[in-house]
Structure 1
Amino acid sequence: MKNIVKLALSFVGLFIFSVLHAQDAKMNTFINQLMAKMTLEEKLGQLNLPSSGDFVTGAAASSDIAKKIEAGKVGGLFNIKSVAKIKEVQKLAVEKSRLKIPLMFGMDVIHGYETVFPIPLGMSATWDMPLIERSARIAANEASSDGINWTFSPMVDISRDPRWGRISEGNGEDPYLGGQIAKAMIKGYQGNDLSKNNTLLACVKHYALYGAAEAGRDYGTTDMSRVRMFNEYMLPYKAAVDAGVGSVMASFNEIDGLPAHGNKWLLTDVLKKQWGFKGMVVSDYTGINEMIAHGVGDLKTVSALSMNAGLDMDMVGEGFLTTLGASLKEKKVTLARIDEACRKILEAKYKLGLFEDPYRYIDENRAKTEVFSAANRKEARTIAAQSFVLLKNANNTLPLKKSGAIALIGPLADNKENMGGTWSVAANLSKATSLLQAFKETIGDKVAIHYAKGSNLDADAKFEERAGMFGKSLKRDNRTDDQLLNEALDAAAKSDVIVVAAGESAEMSGEASSRSNLDIPGIQKNLIKALLKTGKPVVLVLFTGRPLTLTWENEYVPAILNVWFPGSEGPYAIADVLFGDVNPSGKLSATFPQNVGQVPLFYNHKNTGRPLRGPWFQKFQSNYLDVSNDPLYPFGYGLSYTNFNYSDLVLSSNKAKGNQSVTASVTLTNKGSYEGKEVVQLYIRDVVGSITRPVSELKGFQKISLKPGESTKVSFTITPEDLKFYNYDLKYDWEAGDFDIMIGTNAQTVKKATINWSK
């Protein structure tokens, strides 16, 4: 029977291969014929990706870009929204240019379109791959119905430094988790057939190592060994390539002294040759031009360098368009390389079905029913609730009762514009909801709600202005600090419990929003201190786009619920969790330090020759004088309204050989009184290696739902594939020896057993 199944599967595989081969042959024939008609200028035009500036409808035809489109000097546009505008521009390309080559239309659809989901760091805290894929599928449906067919997402940069603002846009510190999320997002965006009009061409970014910027300062220098690069940072990019991502975006930073945009080893040797990437490589916004400031050369030099390195499309800079012709004459670049780049862009358009129907993504009726629909908003509310991480819940302060009186206080309590977080560029802020509004709608008929702002976001008005860009104003209150505080204390006096909505604003994290201080702004902390002095229970609803230093808050505030920036339906989800309609189940994907001096701090670190043994402090061992080595909240951490118990870990065998597999199991029991979900995490440590190995590495996880009193056996199958790493010679393989197998509720709290695995 097994042989029959294998034979059937082989026939299916052969059939699929033959179909794909025929499709590729058809595409190649079409593109060969098209390129034979193209002039050099038209080929270079395909490599040009300007920003539209988002035309006013009816003005596109008279713009400077229109003239370039008609002349065949534009391959695609981004930052343009709405079917009407995109249709107007596409008509210029397919009706007025000589070869009628359609345009691609891109946008930063990062965590939703008009229906906004939690920021990516929040999404990663769900540890739920089907849910993450669903969010990308909804985003693709909405954006494609509005004419978009290319998204500059997912961002999969590993970051261990929360000072870096764009940690909010990624999936945290772990390469395995990041790789799983990359695959889920790409499947959600691209679907199974990219030519369908409800898909988006995905673009994994920023290749590579962008999240390791020195000092956590955006666009900063990155420098690391290749062993570290491949074992700790490159896996999510490769996972995206393996998942069939259609495009890759180069990163701003340098690698080995050469900016990524001009780094042939990175873009060609690794990405295209070693990993077999067949799609197109696009620059980041003016990324080619910015190599001039790096000190690599003038625009003509850096454009030729990027082209030769393997970059295919130039975003905004127009260096390819304006200089490669001269560089070709001077034999600084080859026509073969220009042709290769042009082919990659044309292939992407072909796979999107644009040559068959340039208007296939332009359907005015779809947008009316699919964008910000009731069904999508319901899904966003459900997803947001799964992303929240309960950091503390002393004396079962949460969930709150749906009775009595509640004081809702804080600068983010009645501010709808900030709920979507950074990089929510397509969001319609007029449709956003504040936490106060959500409270009134969900529990206002049962609970008296007393609102007060309590404080501004920050004492410094200029800082608050920088933190409220892109229409996300905090609406600064010009009353004195004492007046705002007294109003809050009055609201608290009339209430049984106090909910404080505090933390960061949306634009305190994100691109070019690095911070050197990771505390909650002092004026907000003073507000919390004053409210604690009332003696009433205080719940901190924490808004943040990064790990913050919450040592004081963790010591004194009874309950802390981290809601990140939860998206357009997030305020309703916050109410759902606070009042017990949903049990929080999020787990941190990035370590929270005790203070900024510990940064970078991450779970899968290496040991030193003098690791700390025993309690802190020990002289001549690796530790600090003023703080322990421990994080405030470790990777994988997150509480629940219920309690989960782990049995001892059981291995199917404590010895294995070759390609055998071993099962590691625990019994998980819900010991509490609430139904809940627990993310059971598998970690492995390679005890002895030919190079030093981390103290543990995430290798699997399962999200389990249990009713009160219910138990289940949770098992992981381990194979030599889980033991592989890049050795000193960058060979990807595993080595025989002892391995610690760990299963637990976070990276620090685990059950452990050891196995010997021989070759």
Structure 2
Amino acid sequence: MTSIVTGLQGQRPEGHPKGYPFLAGRNNVVACAKHFVGDGGTDKGINEGNAILSYDDLERIHMAPYLDCISQGVCTIMASYSSWNGVPLHASHFLLTQILKEKLGFKGFIISDAEGLDRLFHPHGSNYQQSVLSAINAGIDMVMVPFRYQLFLEDLTYLVQSGKIPIARIDDAVERILRVKFAAGLFEYPLSDKSLLPAVGCKLHRELAREAVRKSLVLLKNGKDPKKSFLPLNRNAKKILIAGTHGDDLGYQCGGWTATWEGKSGRITIGTTILDAVREVTGSDTEVIFEQNPSAQTLASQDISFAIVAVGECPYVEYGGDSRELPIHFNGAEIISLVADKVPTLVILIAGRPLVIEQRILDKVEAFVAAWLPGTEGGGITDVVFGDCGFQGRLPMTWFKGVDQLRSNAVEKSYDPLFPIGFGLTSKGEVL
């Protein structure tokens, strides 16, 4: 994922000073590597939690990607909300200054996370002046203060004037911020180039997004009979039923961090839902109907060729997605069961991670596809399920039978998941 830095900032030329920020030009943007460091290794995986491990392990496991980012000229690095052995990263002089700035040679600036200083004491936001003192002296150069900026400025000014924050620390922060701004050309071009606006959401970008959807789909089941594939679907079928909460919802396809912080349901932006995409590719004589929760009368119809049931998760971010059960939301399993009992069914799961699907439910369906969060380009799904392109995706993680298997390891003899890591089928039912 560190290659994203080059994608955002541009390719750093040979001979560019190590650790110094780099930006190729006005068509590029400043990148931020985050969250430094160890937030992916907190005890019990708790968000904003505590990483309990030795420095050697922290460096070997969690710090390694930052070395690559720094070598690419990453401009900014964000401190983590989390702690290392009980010390909040926002207050760790050792990790932010002695390690990141001095040992690793990072010359860009360190930015706090949003309200990162407010989280240094409990209750949230208390002892604020001490929080400012700890964070700035630890090495934070720029502070994200979405609300209490006047109090922040007052406290910072007092702490500098009283000598509790050395002016040398302020000089270091200013120098680093200016260095990034000079690298970005902000003094020559302080405003964005509005001529680039038509590129936002342009045809080329949407085609690339659609390709990403096609290549990321993972086919996990294709036909109740291993010798008879259910996919690809017939685009000239007489009647197709689209069902489920995610069958016609762009917000659910996009997930969190889209339009709003947590994301939301509905037509939140321009794009193609699964229902839209099916209607675009099916024949003129094919009837496509949509019922989020199909009625008994609809399912009793004898002329439905097959159903596509799209279910999954509601949008979430961070701890909002924490779950001890990991179920399909909105009674998704019941919708699958209801439809699959009556009609040959393809299930498309829209989720940012594996969810629990019972074997008895899986046995009822003809085909099962993990579509992850396909975003605005639902056409990438129909490209594959109707056979214009083949399945290429394989599971990047184990798909567990139940949450009790979350700690299972593929090298263990007891490893017995629903689908193993790396699993994926072709449209012909062959293992990739």
1:698-709 to structure 2, matched below 5 A, reads none
**Distance in 1 separating the partners of 2:61 and 2:221:** 30
Matched, 1:575 2:407: no
Task: Kindly indicate whether the alpha-carbon contact (under 8 Å) linking 2:250 and 2:271 is maintained by their aligned counterparts in 1.
Answer: yes
Task: Kindly indicate whether the alpha-carbon contact (under 8 Å) linking 1:422 and 1:510 is maintained by their aligned counterparts in 2.
Answer: no
1:400 to 209, 230, 233: 233
The aligned amino acid for 1:502 is: V
Match of 2:207 in 1: 378
Match of 1:635 in 2: 421
How much does 1:522 deviate? 6.8
2:368 to 560, 583, 593: 560
Match of 1:126 in 2: none
1:432-511 to structure 2, matched below 5 A, reads 432-445=271-284, 447-454=286-293, 484-486=294-296, 489-490=299-300, 493-507=302-316, 509-510=317-318
TM-score, structure 1 length as denominator?
0.50
1:125-144 to structure 2, matched below 5 A, reads none
Task: Kindly indicate whether the alpha-carbon contact (under 8 Å) linking 1:218 and 1:513 is maintained by their aligned counterparts in 2.
Answer: no
String of CA shifts for 1:20-66, please: whole Å, max 9, x gaps. xxxxxxxxxxxxxxxxxxxxxxxxxxxxxxxxxxxxxxxxxxxxxxx
**Distance in 2 separating the partners of 1:225 and 1:494:** 64
How much does 1:280 deviate? 0.9
**Distance in 2 separating the partners of 1:299 and 1:389:** 48
**Distance in 2 separating the partners of 1:407 and 1:372:** 30
**Distance in 1 separating the partners of 2:184 and 2:212:** 29
Q: Secondary structure at the match of 1:397?
A: coil
1:246-395 to structure 2, matched below 5 A, reads 246-293=75-122, 298-316=127-145, 318=149, 321-359=153-191, 361-363=192-194, 365-367=195-197, 369-394=198-223, 395=226
1:230 to 52, 59, 71: 59
**Distance in 1 separating the partners of 2:352 and 2:240:** 26
How much does 1:248 deviate? 0.7
String of CA shifts for 1:162-204, please: whole Å, max 9, x gaps. xxxxxxxxxxxxxxxxxxx222x11111113725221110001
**Distance in 2 separating the partners of 1:530 and 1:337:** 64
Matched, 1:182 2:2: yes
String of CA shifts for 1:501-522, please: whole Å, max 9, x gaps. 0111233x55533222212137
Identity %: 30
Task: Kindly indicate whether the alpha-carbon contact (under 8 Å) linking 1:590 and 1:602 is maintained by their aligned counterparts in 2.
Answer: no
The aligned amino acid for 1:366 is: L
1:487-566 to structure 2, matched below 5 A, reads 489-490=299-300, 493-507=302-316, 509-510=317-318, 512-521=320-329, 523-534=331-342, 536-552=343-359, 553-566=361-374
How much does 1:320 deviate? 5.2
How much does 1:644 deviate? 7.1
> Kindly tell me: are residues 417 and 336 of structure 1, through their superposed partners in 2, closer, same or farther at Cα, counting changes over 3 Å?
same
Gaps of 5+ in 2: 12-21
1:45-84 to structure 2, matched below 5 A, reads none
**Distance in 2 separating the partners of 1:232 and 1:556:** 42
Task: Kindly indicate whether the alpha-carbon contact (under 8 Å) linking 1:190 and 1:202 is maintained by their aligned counterparts in 2.
Answer: yes
How much does 1:574 deviate? 0.9
The aligned amino acid for 2:290 is: Y
String of CA shifts for 1:638-682, please: whole Å, max 9, x gaps. 22225779xxxxxxxxxxxxxxxxxxxxxxxxxxxxxxxx6xxxx
Aligned alpha-carbon RMSD (Å): 2.7
Task: Kindly indicate whether the alpha-carbon contact (under 8 Å) linking 1:389 and 1:639 is maintained by their aligned counterparts in 2.
Answer: yes
**Distance in 1 separating the partners of 2:415 and 2:396:** 19
String of CA shifts for 1:85-111, please: whole Å, max 9, x gaps. xxxxxxxxxxxxxxxxxxxxxxxxxxx
Q: Secondary structure at the match of 2:65?
A: helix
The aligned amino acid for 1:403 is: N
**Distance in 2 separating the partners of 1:247 and 1:487:** 58
1:410 to 228, 240, 244: 244
Q: Secondary structure at the match of 1:542?
A: strand
> Kindly tell me: are residues 496 and 589 of structure 1, through their superposed partners in 2, closer, same or farther at Cα, counting changes over 3 Å?
same
Gaps of 5+ in 1: 1-180, 455-483, 606-611, 614-627, 646-677, 679-759
**Distance in 2 separating the partners of 1:391 and 1:198:** 40
The aligned amino acid for 1:182 is: T
1:634-673 to structure 2, matched below 5 A, reads 634-642=420-428
How many residue pairs get matched?
A: 408
**Distance in 1 separating the partners of 2:353 and 2:362:** 16
String of CA shifts for 1:314-356, please: whole Å, max 9, x gaps. 0015465332332234432211111101111111111110112
> Kindly tell me: are residues 202 and 403 of structure 1, through their superposed partners in 2, closer, same or farther at Cα, counting changes over 3 Å?
same
Larger Rg: 1
Task: Kindly indicate whether the alpha-carbon contact (under 8 Å) linking 1:213 and 1:221 is maintained by their aligned counterparts in 2.
Answer: yes
The aligned amino acid for 1:486 is: A
Task: Kindly indicate whether the alpha-carbon contact (under 8 Å) linking 2:395 and 2:421 is maintained by their aligned counterparts in 1.
Answer: yes
**Distance in 1 separating the partners of 2:408 and 2:113:** 28
Match of 1:712 in 2: none
> Kindly tell me: are residues 391 and 239 of structure 1, through their superposed partners in 2, closer, same or farther at Cα, counting changes over 3 Å?
farther
**Distance in 2 separating the partners of 1:644 and 1:486:** 36
Q: Secondary structure at the match of 2:113?
A: coil
Match of 2:18 in 1: none
> Kindly tell me: are residues 538 and 305 of structure 1, through their superposed partners in 2, closer, same or farther at Cα, counting changes over 3 Å?
same
Q: Secondary structure at the match of 2:163?
A: coil
**Distance in 1 separating the partners of 2:315 and 2:347:** 17
**Distance in 2 separating the partners of 1:496 and 1:284:** 52
Task: Kindly indicate whether the alpha-carbon contact (under 8 Å) linking 1:450 and 1:494 is maintained by their aligned counterparts in 2.
Answer: no
TM-score, structure 2 length as denominator?
0.86
**Distance in 2 separating the partners of 1:497 and 1:244:** 52
**Distance in 2 separating the partners of 1:212 and 1:495:** 49
Is 310-319 or 335-344 further displaced after alignment?
310-319
How much does 1:576 deviate? 0.6
How much does 1:205 deviate? 1.3
How much does 1:226 deviate? 3.5
**Distance in 1 separating the partners of 2:390 and 2:41:** 34
> Kindly tell me: are residues 217 and 384 of structure 1, through their superposed partners in 2, closer, same or farther at Cα, counting changes over 3 Å?
same
**Distance in 2 separating the partners of 1:555 and 1:266:** 51
How much does 1:581 deviate? 0.8
Task: Kindly indicate whether the alpha-carbon contact (under 8 Å) linking 1:452 and 1:487 is maintained by their aligned counterparts in 2.
Answer: no
Q: Secondary structure at the match of 1:355?
A: coil
The aligned amino acid for 2:272 is: T
Higher strand share: 1
How much does 1:543 deviate? 0.3
2:399 to 576, 592, 611: 592
Task: Kindly indicate whether the alpha-carbon contact (under 8 Å) linking 2:409 and 2:415 is maintained by their aligned counterparts in 1.
Answer: no
> Kindly tell me: are residues 486 and 290 of structure 1, through their superposed partners in 2, closer, same or farther at Cα, counting changes over 3 Å?
same
Q: Secondary structure at the match of 1:328?
A: helix
Match of 1:221 in 2: 50
How much does 1:254 deviate? 1.1
> Kindly tell me: are residues 254 and 510 of structure 1, through their superposed partners in 2, closer, same or farther at Cα, counting changes over 3 Å?
closer
Task: Kindly indicate whether the alpha-carbon contact (under 8 Å) linking 2:141 and 2:174 is maintained by their aligned counterparts in 1.
Answer: yes
> Kindly tell me: are residues 554 and 643 of structure 1, through their superposed partners in 2, closer, same or farther at Cα, counting changes over 3 Å?
closer
**Distance in 2 separating the partners of 1:203 and 1:558:** 44
